[in-house]
Structure 1
Amino acid sequence: MDDAITVRLSRDEALVLGEWLHRRMNGDDFRGDTVHPGERVALWNLAGGLEATTAEIFAPDYPALLDAARDRLVGGGEMDEPLDAERLTALMEPYSGRWWIAGGRALSLFAGRIWREHSDVDVLVLARDLPELGAAFPGELLVEDGRTGQSRPWTGEELTPGPHTLSFAAPPPGPPVQFVLGAAEGEEWVFHRGSGRIRLPFDRLGGRAEHAGLTYLAPEVVLMFKARGTRPKDEHDFRMTVGLLKPEARRWLVSSLPPGHVWVPVTAAL
């Protein structure tokens, strides 16, 4: 063709893009009226060209090769020190309230692999369970106000989900532990911002990493929090996990993201 153009891709990019096209083209929406016939032809031609150049798709270990290619594209690697689950479980043993691993470590527990380093351990506890937290760690915690950046000893007073976090005045061995606070109504977690529309029942709020013996915050909830900042590491975490979410979790995330957020079309298209 006289008007042909050349697009250069790395082998990893070709492998990952080819897999995405394969999933996209086998979805119901691709065969519906929302895709123009010309778009179908263009994507079929692109997928065929990628397939012809990536012999890895026929390898018996193709899933592992694909995962490795995805990790290389986002600079994936292992943490120097993985989360010490036994040490954290022992630390939290005196606390009688609900708690979940949150933040980036929750996503790693959900995915079953680690792709970046984490500086601390975020643990979500309910603000209404603060008396139990104070009883478990009397006089041991500092409260930080995210609005001012100032820390002071926590004396058991009520705190607000969002701006307030708690940490140990004398950190125990291992990565620093930070307690983040969640709001709740009855048997539901409720996002502390807005009208209370964004919520989940407790039986859907977490998952269990059996290999670590830890309960983690639902990945769609973690991503919803991360969407408010979209730092480079948050974008990295999103790319590594959004494709692993179940359809129900993806729908919840789309409905909970800020209107017009760049993650909405990416999540909705999966």
Structure 2
Amino acid sequence: MFDRCLQVKDFMESYSGKWMVAGGWAIDLHIGEETREHEDIEVAVFRDEQTDLASLLADWDVYIAQEERRQEWDLNDPIELPIHEIHASRQDGEMLEVLLNERSKGRWVYRRDPNLSFPLSMMNLQSEQGIPYLNPEIVLLYKAKHTRDKDHDDFNYVFPYLNEHQKEWLKQALMHSQRTHPWLEKLLY
């Protein structure tokens, strides 16, 4: 179980910055079982640690993903907002999606709305296998922007595993950023 996440953990051991599994895998790590198939694996890192990331991916083919386009990333050029997604692949078929996250003054900052933040010291958890993963409430906030069927499934699977603090934070974040999101109906009761 979680073989793909364990492979990423082994690879990321040499990364000197803070990293965590994001996306659907983070939801499954929180639950403690794989609830669905995943096409890819996403790793969240901080934008201000790009130099460390560039070193880690030096022998990979690395592209910036921006609005349905891919552009090769010159590892010496810093990536600025609004770009936040990097796709990396190796000739052996290994692939990794890296999501750049923002932080300021000891807090993770939501790139779509800097008024939403979370203490860095509490923004990620760790699985039984020692895999760091982004808190599910933060993952769900990202998924809420363009919600697909699999995102609704992720919400429904993880909802019973969220504590009251996590539900409250997600509820407040959605009320601030997407007041009509369908997940609010379940979060309000």
Judge same fold: TM > 0.5, yes or no: yes
Q: What is the identity percentage for the equivalent residue pairs of Structure 1 and Structure 2?
A: 25
2:87 alignment partner, one of 149, 154, 167: 167
- Distance in structure 1 (CA, Å) of the matches to 2:167 and 2:120: 18
Pair 1:208 & 2:139 matched:
no
- Looking at secondary structure, tell me which structure has more strand per residue: 2
How far residue 228 of structure 1 moved from its aligned partner, in angstroms, is: 0.6
How far residue 113 of structure 1 moved from its aligned partner, in angstroms, is: 1.3
Pair 1:179 & 2:98 matched:
yes
- Distance in structure 2 (CA, Å) of the matches to 1:221 and 1:182: 11
Deviations 1:91-149 (A, max 9, x none): 11221000010000000000011111001110000000001111222252412232142
- Please tell me the residue identity of whatever aligns with 2:154: D
RMSD of aligned alpha carbons = 1.9
Where does structure 2 lack aligned partners over 5 or more consecutive residues? none
Matches within 5 A, 1:38-77: none
- Please tell me the residue identity of whatever aligns with 1:186: K
Aligned residues: 186
- Distance in structure 2 (CA, Å) of the matches to 1:171 and 1:256: 40
- Distance in structure 2 (CA, Å) of the matches to 1:139 and 1:161: 25
Where does structure 1 lack aligned partners over 5 or more consecutive residues? 1-80
How far residue 172 of structure 1 moved from its aligned partner, in angstroms, is: 5.2
Deviations 1:126-175 (A, max 9, x none): 0000011112222524122321422313322121355332222425565x
Match of 1:244 in 2: 161
- Distance in structure 2 (CA, Å) of the matches to 1:131 and 1:218: 25
Match of 1:135 in 2: 55
- Distance in structure 2 (CA, Å) of the matches to 1:172 and 1:161: 31
- Distance in structure 1 (CA, Å) of the matches to 2:118 and 2:81: 16
1:234 aligns to what SS in structure 2? helix
- Distance in structure 2 (CA, Å) of the matches to 1:161 and 1:243: 34
Match of 2:18 in 1: 98
- Distance in structure 1 (CA, Å) of the matches to 2:23 and 2:172: 20
- Please tell me the residue identity of whatever aligns with 2:55: A
1:154 aligns to what SS in structure 2? coil
Matches within 5 A, 1:189-268: 189-194=108-113, 196-210=114-128, 212-257=129-174, 258-268=178-188
Deviations 1:183-242 (A, max 9, x none): 110321100112x111111111011102x2201000000011111111000011111112
Structure with greater Cα Rg: 1
Return closer, same or farther for 1:171/1:249 CA change in 2, 3 Å cut-off: farther
Matches within 5 A, 1:5-154: 82-154=2-74
Does the 8 Å CA contact 1:161/1:183 hold for their aligned counterparts? no
1:265 aligns to what SS in structure 2? helix
- Distance in structure 2 (CA, Å) of the matches to 1:172 and 1:251: 43
- Distance in structure 1 (CA, Å) of the matches to 2:2 and 2:126: 17
Return closer, same or farther for 1:171/1:107 CA change in 2, 3 Å cut-off: farther
- Distance in structure 1 (CA, Å) of the matches to 2:68 and 2:2: 31
Does the 8 Å CA contact 1:208/1:216 hold for their aligned counterparts? yes
- Looking at secondary structure, tell me which structure has more helix per residue: 1
